[in-house]
Amino acid sequence: MATKKTQLESLKNVALFSGCSKKELEKVAKAADEIDMAEGALIVDQGQTGREAFIILSGDVTIKRNGRKIASLGAGDVVGELSLLDHGPRTATAVCATDCTLLVIDQRRFINVLDDVPSIAHKLMGALAARIRDMDRTYVG
């Protein structure tokens, strides 16, 4: 089991939460559960409805879209973050490439944190806007 300090460091390294204060990160961490998954385990399946996000505390995760590998993720990366904001379909499949320890945040608990600490929502919107701008520059120029 990861220490509270490790969980907070992992959350801080996630781009969506990088602007959050320690107290805000503590609120998010309290709304999360730590789980262990074995190598080969399916974390999320493309096309399925998402209801939670997963922060990788340890291990490696392979991301595939339409059956083709598009990324490898590790400690400090996040899988399924869009599901914290909507119930849309997963845009990719994520599978544990090694044994993994993950921090799971479900949407209902996360929304309660945002209601309790609105400043997190403001920071989250800023981080999402930055990601959209980066994607726009990458694909449009």
The full set of domain ranges for the chain reads: 27-109
* pLDDT at 3 (0 to 100): 80
User: Tens of pLDDT along 77-122?
Assistant: 999 988 888 888 999 999 999 999 999 999 999 999 999 999 999 9
* 66 has a pLDDT exceeding 80: yes
Of the listed ranges 25-29, 30-34, 60-64, 127-131, the least confidently predicted one is 127-131
pLDDT tier at 14 (50, 70, 90 boundaries)? confident
Rg (CA), the chain: 15
The residue with greater pLDDT, 39 or 1, is 39
CATH topology (fold) of 27-109: Jelly Rolls (2.60.120)
Residue 94 phi/psi, 5-degree rounding, is: -125, 130
pLDDT score of 2 more than 80: no
The predicted model scores a pTM of 0.87
Q: Is 66 exposed, middle or buried (0-12, 13-18, 19+ CB in 10 A)?
A: exposed
Nearest to 103 by CA among 30, 27, 49: 30
Q: What percent of the chain has pLDDT over 90?
A: 65
Q: Mean pLDDT of all residues in the chain?
A: 91
* pLDDT for res 35: 97
Q: Are the C-beta atoms of residues 79 and 53 closer than 8 Å to each other?
A: yes
